[in-house]
Amino acid sequence: MVVKQKILRNVCLTAHPKGCREYVENEIDFVEKSMKGSDERYPKLDTKPMNVLILGCSTGYGLSSRIVTGIGMKAKTLGVCFERTPSSKPATPGWYNTKVFEEEAEKRGIYAKTINGDAFSDEVKKEVCETIKRDLGKVDLVIYSLASPVRTDPKTGITYKSVLKPIGNSFTELSVNSKTGILEKATFTAATEEQAKATVKVMGGEDWKLWMETLLENDVVSDGFKSVAYSYIGPKITYPIYREGTIGKAKEDLESSVEEINALISKKGGEAYISVNKALVTRASAVIPVVPLYTAILYKVMEDKGIHENCIEQMYRLYSSKLPSKSTDEKGRIRLDDWEMREDVQKEVEDIWKTLKEGEELVQGDLEMFRTDYSHLHGFGYKNIDYSKDVDLERP
């Protein structure tokens, strides 16, 4: 079948099997080159034997975490994701990425298994514990990288939907039409209290804590194990829609659950961390209003300064330096957004933002890079791939 890129309301509906292979291989390449140790920003990773559980392992930050630990650190990885399998239509990108990752791990003699199911459910938690017991014994690191629009509470059966809205007042800000590049004003109505609570239910800390309880009860974590969950803060411009909006409330909840989780896992000598990551184009973030405009400008500024990173560089820095050195801010959070939030970077972003005018084309941001990155996430936009050729939907 010939697979074409189909975009509807800024969301890409198709994925190209060969392009997804390219995406994963490029990330693996970065890790293997960095392991030669020639770039001091990305020093060699520790390769002492380790078992890693990655929740949300198939795209974005979770996939890069898996590649860094599974290929770079040679860890045995068990991943959990929720991806559509191929039918008469292509699968979702994460399904192809996972297949490629498993193949590449196998070629290198490294264990990699994946459970494709709802990580919020009791059934998947049980299956994970059984798989760990059977194949790995215990895990030393648990990475929590889920990004989902819905969650069914396993205790009550109620399904909650997350929304991306401001809290209190509606919010109007410039946004960019990623198709035309034209700046448009976008207004977002305030969330109801119920919507805000539902978003916390989906993206807050409750499920992370449930995972920790389940793993402890089943005795499948090693002494001194670590767990890391990912968060985002960002600049003041995006506060109303992000940090002070519904998703920000969920992130606050996630961040504040660390204390409770640490109290829980300290009996096993366990340690939980929040890593505040950089704003990047991922399938989850591309749909957050205003964020694509901010990201396009940020990319340009960081590129010009030679400090732009993608998911793989971020995760490499996390597992090679930030986590081992336990370097945190005053609230105990690892700050991988350190370069994004640098004063000079934010000052330049703000200066550009002040010049933006509704109806004009965005010229001072790298929208092309944003578009290319978004296409790559779905396996499109690679110059070395002939997109007019038939591909096997089952075999990336």
From the list 127-135, 144-152, 327-335, 346-354, the region that binds ligand NAD by CB under 6 A is 144-152
CB of 267 to ligand NAD, least distance (A): 26
Token pair belonging to 376: 């790559």
Q: Which residues contact 355 (CB under 8 A, 6 or more apart)?
A: 364
Annotation says 239 is catalytic: no
Among 34, 162, 257, 285, binds ligand NAD (CB under 6 A): 285
- Determine if 128 is a binding residue for ligand NAD (CB under 6 A): no
- Determine if 232 is a binding residue for ligand NAD (CB under 6 A): yes
Residue 169 and residue 176 in contact, taking contact as beta carbons nearer than 8 Å: no
- Determine if 284 is a binding residue for ligand NAD (CB under 6 A): yes
Rounded Cα distance between 71 and 104, Å, is: 8
- Total site size for ligand NAD, rule CB under 6 A: 29
CB of 276 to ligand NAD, least distance (A): 7
Rounded Cα distance between 138 and 329, Å, is: 30
Among 31, 280, 323, 352, binds ligand NAD (CB under 6 A): 280
Instruction: Indicate the residue among 2 and 11 with the shorter CB distance to ligand NAD.
Output: 11
- Determine if 148 is a binding residue for ligand NAD (CB under 6 A): yes
Q: Taking Cα atoms as reference points, which of 193, 325, 329 lies closest to residue 258?
A: 329
3-state SS class at 314: helix
- Determine if 147 is a binding residue for ligand NAD (CB under 6 A): yes
CB of 234 to ligand NAD, least distance (A): 8
Rounded Cα distance between 67 and 31, Å, is: 8
- Determine if 196 is a binding residue for ligand NAD (CB under 6 A): no
- DSSP letter string, 3-31: ----EETTEE----HHHHHHHHHHHHHHH
Q: Taking Cα atoms as reference points, which of 41, 355, 53 lies closest to residue 221?
A: 53
For residue 250, give Cα distances in angstroms to 148, 263, 272.
12, 21, 17
CB of 370 to ligand NAD, least distance (A): 12
CB of 386 to ligand NAD, least distance (A): 27
Q: Which helix (H) or strand (E) holds 256?
A: helix 246-265
Among 15, 28, 80, 228, binds ligand NAD (CB under 6 A): 80
Instruction: Indicate the residue among 61 and 316 with the shorter CB distance to ligand NAD.
Output: 61
Rounded Cα distance between 45 and 366, Å, is: 31
Q: Which of 23, 160, 232, 242 is catalytic?
A: 242
Among 67, 68, 78, 83, binds ligand NAD (CB under 6 A): 83
From the list 23-31, 283-291, 298-306, 347-355, the region that binds ligand NAD by CB under 6 A is 283-291
Token pair belonging to 98: 């996972």
For residue 271, give Cα distances in angstroms to 43, 76, 120, 268, 336.
23, 20, 22, 9, 18
Interacting positions 288-347 with ligand NAD (CB under 6 A): none
- Determine if 58 is a binding residue for ligand NAD (CB under 6 A): yes
Active site residues: 242
Per CB under 6 A, residues contacting ligand NAD are: 56-62, 80-83, 94, 118-120, 145-148, 230-232, 277, 279-280, 282-285
